[in-house]
């Protein structure tokens, strides 16, 4: 049992871990910016409709 614990502790040493490579952000395409704008306008319109629905008395 002790040998098994020793083997597992040696396998988990940081020496075996690979270094972290920070991801490089990619530039947004024009298509992504267009759909983001459409989504933003849709969200604003939905919020305005909810405002009108809630403010009615």
- How far apart CA 5 and CA 3 sit, in angstroms, is 5
Query: Would you state the pLDDT for residue 49?
Result: 96
Query: Would you state the pLDDT for residue 22?
Result: 87
Residues 16-50 pLDDT 10s: 667 778 888 888 899 999 999 999 999 999 999 99
Give the model's confidence band at 51: pLDDT under 50 very low, under 70 low, under 90 confident, else very high: very high
Q: Kindly write down the DSSP assignment for every residue of the chain, as one continuous string.
A: -HHHHHHHHHHT-GGGSPPP-PPPPPPPPHHHHHHHHHHHHHHHHHHHHHHHHHH--
pTM of the model: 0.52
Please tell me which residue, 7 or 15, carries the higher pLDDT value: 7
Please tell me which residue, 12 or 36, carries the higher pLDDT value: 36
């Amino acid at each position: 049992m002790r040998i098994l614990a020793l083997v597992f502790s040696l396998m988990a040493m940081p020496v075996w871990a690979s270094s972290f490579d920070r991801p490089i952000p990619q530039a947004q395409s024009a298509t992504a910016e267009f759909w983001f704008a459409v989504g933003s306008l849709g969200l604003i319109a939905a919020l305005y409709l909810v405002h009108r629905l809630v403010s009615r008395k």
